[in-house]
Amino acid sequence: MTKPLIRNCLTAIKPYVPGKPVEEVERELGLRDVIKLASNENPLGPSPLAVETLKKQLACLHYYPDGNCYYLKQELAERLKVGPENLIFGNGSDELLSLITLAYLNPGEEALAVQPTFSEYEFAVRLMEGTMRYVPLSGRDFDFDLEGLVGEVNEKTRLLFICSPNNPTGSIMRRRQLEALLDRLPPGVLVVLDQAYYEYVTDPDYPSGLEYVQEGRPVILLRTFSKIYGLAGLRIGYGIASREIVQDLNRVREPFNVNSVAQVAARAALGDQGHLERSRALVEKGRKQLQEGLARIGLRPVPSQANFYFIDVGIDSRAVFQAMLRRGVIIRTGDIFGYPTYIRVNFGTEEQNRRFLAALEEVLKELKGN
């Protein structure tokens, strides 16, 4: 059989490497009680209210979902104090990234992001035969480099991806910097402000971003129900932008992109303030617990406003990953982000954090031979 020719732009795309699922590790290594701290999920799980509500929806699976997400949109618009016409939902915020490049990037045009960052921006750009350019984060705290970003914008730049808090570093772009960036961008550049970890931020200099949408700046905010809301398995995220941008994205959106179960669960999750607060509090405790525990074994994580740390362990992180796996702890290696001696770990429950710290201490002793 002759294979059909794949589009040229796709040959450079490396398939996304997801965090290893717990069941796979237990099956392959014959382990029980494996913990996954690799995909920045919520260790408390979803809101029980969301689970109750979605069970009722199961009886209606023979109907197509509401393609307009009407009730969820009304509820969220009210909470955010924006109009329903400023919202668009996606099958995870991942889908919105592809809708953005589909709508705004012509072949040969360029997008800009920091390095290291979330890999799906490059995927979405390549899909449209675009070129991705990177500006490195700076210093040991992986700060955003305003001058570097402004300096890299050229007449072909159409999109600027700002992931804040940034995956995998947890660093944020502060209000003053972000506003200076918006002021200095030429017309025709859309800023995609990815706020997947927005709800975990405690720094008062972090902007919500809503003000930029309200001021009519060329910005789209991306948020998700996958992280603090604990609904990653249902796939639902949303964008907040001007009516015009939402209209453009609706041109390329499939009519039933968000399933009916996700819609009702997300709406119920929004109403469960208690679960949100417990999840936030757990992350604050985890941040402190891990920072102190890491300091005890001589490690310093990059200061993080998210629910994970990026940590230089000083040796090949793939060996650390394998040795942690044998102890039933799944983490992420930094090589996929271009930092082969770093690991990324998300905060778990207090007990999971303890297990991670104990395993890491053992593994580093074993591998460093001291």
Ligand X SMILES: Cc1ncc(COP(=O)(O)O)c(C=O)c1O
Interface with ligand X (CB under 6 A): 40, 92-94, 118, 163, 167, 194, 196, 224, 226, 232, 237
Give backbone dihedrals phi and psi of 192, rounded to 5 degrees, phi first: -100, 105
- Both tokens of residue 256? 């039933």
Q: How far is the CB of 73 from ligand X (least distance, A)?
A: 17
Task: Report the residue number, 126 or 357, with the smaller CB distance to ligand X.
Answer: 126
Q: How far is the CB of 88 from ligand X (least distance, A)?
A: 13
Task: Report the residue number, 118 or 342, with the smaller CB distance to ligand X.
Answer: 118
Residue 45 zone, left/alpha/beta (φ > 0; ψ -120 to 50; rest): left
Task: Report the residue number, 125 or 232, with the smaller CB distance to ligand X.
Answer: 232
Under 8 Å CB-to-CB from 303, ≥6 apart: which residues? 141, 170, 171
Q: How far is the CB of 99 from ligand X (least distance, A)?
A: 12
d(CA 235, CA 8): 29
- Residue matched to tokens 């104990």: 358
Residue 15 zone, left/alpha/beta (φ > 0; ψ -120 to 50; rest): beta
Q: How far is the CB of 117 from ligand X (least distance, A)?
A: 8
Task: Report the residue number, 228 or 232, with the smaller CB distance to ligand X.
Answer: 232
- Both tokens of residue 32? 């029980």
d(CA 149, CA 147): 5
Task: Report the residue number, 40 or 157, with the smaller CB distance to ligand X.
Answer: 40
The 8-class DSSP code of residue 145 comes to -
Asked if residues 85 and 213 have their Cβ atoms less than 8 Å apart, the reply is no
Cα radius of gyration (the chain) = 21
Give backbone dihedrals phi and psi of 351, rounded to 5 degrees, phi first: -65, -40
Q: How far is the CB of 278 from ligand X (least distance, A)?
A: 21
Q: How far is the CB of 165 from ligand X (least distance, A)?
A: 8
Q: Nearest to ligand X by Cβ — which residue? A: 92
Half-sphere exposure of 207 (CA within 13 A, CB side): 21
Asked if residues 238 and 87 have their Cβ atoms less than 8 Å apart, the reply is yes
Task: Report the residue number, 39 or 250, with the smaller CB distance to ligand X.
Answer: 39
Task: Report the residue number, 65 or 237, with the smaller CB distance to ligand X.
Answer: 237
The string of DSSP letters for 297-330 reads: TT--BPP-SSSEEEEE-SS-HHHHHHHHHHTTEE
Task: Report the residue number, 220 or 357, with the smaller CB distance to ligand X.
Answer: 220
Q: How far is the CB of 368 from ligand X (least distance, A)?
A: 30
Q: How far is the CB of 4 from ligand X (least distance, A)?
A: 29
d(CA 81, CA 190): 22
Task: Report the residue number, 104 or 121, with the smaller CB distance to ligand X.
Answer: 121
Half-sphere exposure of 39 (CA within 13 A, CB side): 18
Q: How far is the CB of 331 from ligand X (least distance, A)?
A: 14
Q: How far is the CB of 292 from ligand X (least distance, A)?
A: 25
Strands 35-36 and 219-224: unpaired
Asked if residues 50 and 274 have their Cβ atoms less than 8 Å apart, the reply is no
d(CA 210, CA 80): 8
Task: Report the residue number, 194 or 272, with the smaller CB distance to ligand X.
Answer: 194
